[in-house]
Amino acid sequence: MPAAPENGCLPVVDPVPRIIPRSEHAISRKNIDREALKVLYRLRDAGHTAYLVGGGVRDLYLGKTPKDFDISTDARPGQLRKIFRNSRLIGRRFRLVQVFFPGGKIIEVSTFRRRNEYDEAGNGDSREAVLAADNTFGNPAEDAFRRDLTINALFYEIENFSIIDYTGGVDDLNRGIIRMIGDPDRRFARDPVRMLRVIRHAARNNFMVEEKTWLAMARHCQELTLCPVSRIRDEFFRDLHGSASQPWARLAMDSGIFVVLLPFYKKYLLDDAADTTRVRLLANLGIIDRIHGQGALLPDHLLLALLLLPWAKAELNLAAAPQKGPQAHQFSRLLRARIDEILVPLNISRAVKEVVALLLANLPLFEQEDRKGSEGGWPKWLKKKSYFKDCERFYRLLHEVDRSPQPLAPIDPELVNEITRPASRKSAKRRPSHRGSRGPAFASNSGGGIFGLKKR
């Protein structure tokens, strides 16, 4: 079986790959996008080597439907532009070609390349060392070994419908293992975001992380703070939206990555009450996964509200928050200030943070009114509040799940449809009068959309 070199260096002589013939795998052309096949055949007819690569091959092998079909070839970017007139060049660190098709379909094509990192000295423990230049063309073997995980380094070729495996990725797929290619210490030092990808693929596929890879993550997780905030934020939300945020969080907690990304949770996941906080947090992430598993997409303000609720209960004793008068508004301002502070590392927009604070600040009020059990439902004065719809949906979501007879039972589709609608702009823009107010709602004027992340 071919395997990645232990020392993280490219082999002096290109290794002989393992070829998995069509009779030994279940990948069929009928499961590959027609547009991707057109690109592959066009490149072949032009005299170039071209393979379906990466996550598309991995997902097809596992019987899943890939979100994207990427292609690698020996054709250079300039040659690709001549072959595909319906294309454009993108990318800064390395030039890719996007081929456009009717209906908005895009196939990305890259030239085989290698990583300079294998030949660079040093351990990469500085901002300057992270994400070195990546502009060296290579051959298929070099292209396989420069990838992050063995399961992402597989090629599928259309001549004989075979899988080409340089790194042992097929065996790792069969055994359910996530393994870094090369020396994981060196690979993580060069790009710490790779650690997030390890956890993502382990969580989404219910795989185990190989021991050397796992131990290296524990040693290097703090280096995630060296990465650009925008990259970390995008990867973080990608995992929250990936329908596997609960298993992702378990792995992130166990590896130490979770408290690097969300340091405000550290004392609550390490103290005597850690089990309670962990259970609450994982339960809320389970809600997110159930909704995404039903094909809906939660807006970022709800994702963050569910994520921060256990912290708010532990940090600010949310359940005992005052509900009326000046004390209620003082608590609301305190909550908003703390949310501003803890979300700085993720660079979340002001508008999103306002809605998150609104949902959390008013949750005790809705719990209190619900316990009264009024025959007519919610009181009229509460229904008139600008924040009522958004907060009522959030409350119903939490309690719909609590009352569900089965932990993984589908959530009421009507409720899912309601909570995935855009929140009321009125609740984020209107500043309620303190005079005569009966709840802790607050908001300040803000520009821009309610749910967008801060534009860079």
Averaged pLDDT, 33-53: 97
Q: Is 33 one of the catalytic residues?
A: no
CA-to-CA distance for 232 and 209, rounded, in angstroms?
21
List of residues 6+ apart from 289 with CB closer than 8 A: 243, 244, 245, 246
Average pLDDT over residues 431-450: 40
Phi, psi of 189 (to 5 degrees): -65, -35
pLDDT in tens, 244-296: 999 999 999 999 999 999 999 998 887 666 788 899 999 999 989 988 888 88
Identity at 163, one-letter amino acid code: I
Q: How many Å is the maximal CA-CA distance in the chain? A: 79
Active site residue 70: yes
- For 346-385, b/e burial (b = at least 16 CB within 10 A) is bebbebbbbbbbbbbbbbbbbeebeeeeeeeebeeebeeb
Neighbours of 443 (CB within 10 A): 21
The total of other beta-carbon atoms located within 10 Å of residue 173's CB is 22
In angstroms, the CA 364 to CA 375 distance is 20
Tokens of 389: 């719809």
Which of 246, 435, 240 is CA-nearest to residue 352? 240
**Which tens digit of pLDDT belongs to each residue from 362-390?**
999 999 888 887 666 888 899 999 889 88
Q: Which of 59, 70, 172, 183 is catalytic?
A: 70
Q: Which CATH class is domain 18-182?
A: alpha beta
Asked if residue 435 has pLDDT above 50, the reply is no
Taking CA atoms, 266 is separated from 34, 261, 344, 423, in Å, by 48, 10, 16, 31
Which residue out of 59, 74, 148, 191 is catalytically annotated?
Answer: 148
Q: Strand, coil or helix: what is 113?
A: strand
Instruction: Determine contact, residues 190/131, Cβ cutoff 8 Å.
Output: yes
For 247, the token pair is 């298993």
Cβ 180 vs Cβ 211: under 8 Å? no
Name the pLDDT band for 451 (thresholds 50, 70, 90).
very low
Q: Are strands 177-178 and 106-111 parallel, antiparallel or unpaired?
A: unpaired
Highest-scoring range by mean pLDDT, 17-21, 119-123, 346-350, 407-411: 17-21
Domain ranges of the chain: 18-182, 265-429
**HEC profile for 213-241?**
HHHHHHHHHHHHHHCCHHHHHHHHHHHHC
In the block, residue with structure tokens 């094909």: 295
**Residue 204 in tokens:** 């989404």
pLDDT score at 441: 39
Alpha carbon distance 168, 445 (integer Å): 55
pLDDT, one tens digit per residue, over 53-89 is: 999 999 999 999 999 999 999 999 999 999 999 999 9
Cα torsion 207, 173, 151, 182 to 10°: value is: 80
Please name every residue paired with 100 in a beta bridge, in sequence order, or none if there are none: 106
Q: Respond yes or no: is residue 68 known to be catalytic.
A: yes
The pLDDT value given to residue 189: 94
Sorting pLDDT into bands at 50, 70 and 90, what band is 97? very high
For residues 230 and 215, what is the distance between their CA atoms, to the nearest angstrom?
26
Could you tell me which residues come within 8 angstroms of residue 215 by beta carbon, excluding any fewer than 6 positions away?
none
Instruction: Output the pLDDT for position 210.
Output: 98
Q: Which helix (H) or strand (E) holds 110?
A: strand 106-111
